[in-house]
Amino acid sequence: MKANLSLIVLFFILFFNPCQSESPNEWIKIANAELERALKTERIIQRPKNVVFFLGDGMGIATSTGARIYKGQINGRNGEEGSLTFEKFPHVGLSKTYNDDAQVPDSAGSATAFFSGQKAALGVIGLNSNARYGNCSSAQGNHITSILEWAQKAGKATGIVTTTRITHATPAGTYAHTPDRDWETYVNGSDDADRAGCKDIARQLVEDLPGRDIRVIFGGGELHFLPTNETDSWSKNLTGLRQDGRNLIKEWRIRKMAAGHGNRSRTISTGAQLNALNASQTDFVLGLFAPSHLSFDLLRANHTPKQPTIHEMTKKAIEILQKNEDGFFLMIEGGRIDHGHHDNHAKLAFHDTVAFDAAVEVALEMLPDNDTLFVVTSDHSHTIRIGGWPGRGESILKGQGVNMGSDGLPFLTLSYANGPSAANNANGSRRNLTGLATDVDVFQQDALVPLKYETHGGEDVAIYAKGPFAHLFHTLHEQHYIPVAIDYAACYRSTAAQHCNKTTAISAAPPAPMNWPSIIRVLVFCLVFILL
């Protein structure tokens, strides 16, 4: 009996010991498991049918690290040991994010780089480096095409999904050409002379190629499509911003009817309408779910009617686009990660990153990874940092009482180099965080330099890839390399490469070594079972 009890104790120590975290042997096992995964990693050499491009706006390395810990902690774990879905992708590289004329980039110049394959100036969309910010005449003759347009010409269905205005910098980078990212709608005013000859971004989406042929358009920004004498679809209190008297939503519907798509095109404005949308009966859809940007994911419950989540928009977009036998190109942006950081609201930024990660997860569930190239990256970083001496499992949003400055005041694990929260300091001294609820939804982490909005960061960001030719992302890359690599893999503009003949050829990975720690554990388990 005593022998049996000893064996039972040994069994639980080996397999179910809840009283400790990772043992020395567990750390060895974790490392060996990672090695095994690395040795089994395949290079898939074939033309992908689909490309899904995920862009976490402002999602630098510190943001993905913080969101990873946050995701684990809201699910009852320490957090550090977990991973975001896209962090498990087998191929990872880095992207240099500077613009043609700026060391620290903005989202417009960056979008031009990772969609069109050329660096551009700060604030410029879809134009090469000859164009100058805010100067319409400099745009003439300097338009460059995007990977979304390349995909359309190759017979692919296309879609864009974002949590920002659909005319905002990143989504606009797929279809628009403008020397000023803020020319989203038509306005009269003192700047009109500078804009003469340059269409606003909303008109380009509705009237021009490739915008008018995009099959799925999900995001916010309804007011940029409405005239000043019409109101929004929800509160009926906000008036449109267009000063040319045009309703571009109605014009979009008229154009689809004229092209013979009237019975298979839809305009929607709520999450309920999105969920009810029959993908099998829809070929074109314009979904504008907010007057401006969609809500932060953590605050969506405050809005009536409820706005859709990014993963709900992603799921519906794929359902519609995958009907195309030749495949599709889909861009999905988690755009409000960036906005959370600009206001020094780390929790909002992290929660939107976790929501963005859920969209990646649903795409992976719906699409075969041997036939779809998934790329996840960011346009730029932010000035947020993770520092101090927090213990394992310490709340990523707290840290006071653990981290103490030489001034005798506590500081948080998260902080910003600049931003509006610096105004909370007084007389050259840091604010005293003692007793403050630092994990509430809209708490502002401390910043050093006072600014109206926190700035972007200039360091490299990560590129995560999975699927055919994902191995092309493997080192430190220029940001404008990204669409060039995707284009090569997908054979949009050229079919010269051998894999473009649609012949499947997957190179096998070398055999993995024996996992002796796991084998020994199984043998011990069997021995215990026999003795019992």
**Tokens 């401006």 sit at which residue?**
292
Picking from 230, 227, 231, 257, the residue whose alpha carbon sits closest to that of residue 243 is: 227
Beta strands in 378-484 (DSSP E): 381-382, 384-386, 414-419, 447-450, 456-457, 461-466, 476-478
Q: Which residues pair with 457 in a beta bridge?
A: 381
326 is annotated as contributing to ligand binding = no
Question: Residue 164 belongs to what H/E stretch?
Answer: strand 157-165
Structure tokens at 278: 């029959």
208 is annotated as contributing to ligand binding = no
How far is 43 from 46, CA to CA, in rounded Å? 9
Picking from 352, 398, 371, the residue whose alpha carbon sits closest to that of residue 466 is: 371
380 is annotated as contributing to ligand binding = yes
**Measured between alpha carbons, how far is residue 194 from residues 124, 138, 347, 383 in Å?**
14, 10, 40, 33
Question: How does strand 476-478 pair with strand 91-96?
Answer: parallel
379 is annotated as contributing to ligand binding = yes
Beta strands in 18-117 (DSSP E): 43-45, 50-56, 91-96
Q: Which residues pair with 92 in a beta bridge?
A: 464
Structure tokens at 151: 């995909």
HSE value, Cβ hemisphere, 13 Å, CA-based, for 300: 18
Picking from 412, 422, 330, 341, the residue whose alpha carbon sits closest to that of residue 383 is: 341
Instruction: Single out the catalytic residue among 107, 116, 265, 415.
Output: 107
| 8-state DSSP, 155 | T
170 is annotated as contributing to ligand binding = yes
Q: Are residues 486 and 51 in contact, defined by beta-carbon separation less than 8 angstroms?
A: yes
How far is 293 from 291, CA to CA, in rounded Å? 7
Picking from 144, 97, 156, 140, the residue whose alpha carbon sits closest to that of residue 116 is: 144
Structure tokens at 204: 């380009």
230 is annotated as contributing to ligand binding = no
Question: Residue 217 belongs to what H/E stretch?
Answer: strand 216-220
- DSSP reduced 3-state for 3: helix
**Measured between alpha carbons, how far is residue 164 from residues 78, 116, 291 in Å?**
32, 20, 10
Q: Helices 481-490 and 107-116, interaxial angle, to 10°?
A: 30
Structure tokens at 64: 């993905």
How far is 225 from 20, CA to CA, in rounded Å? 58
- DSSP reduced 3-state for 206: helix
Active site residue 235: no
Q: Are residues 524 and 185 in contact, defined by beta-carbon separation less than 8 angstroms?
A: no
Q: What angle do CA 525, 529, 531 make, to 5 degrees?
A: 120
474 is annotated as contributing to ligand binding = no
**Tokens 């977990």 sit at which residue?**
82
Binding residues: 57, 168, 170, 333, 338, 342, 379-380, 456
Binding residues for Zn(2+): 57, 338, 342, 379-380, 456
Binding residues for Mg(2+): 57, 168, 170, 333
Which positions are catalytic? 107
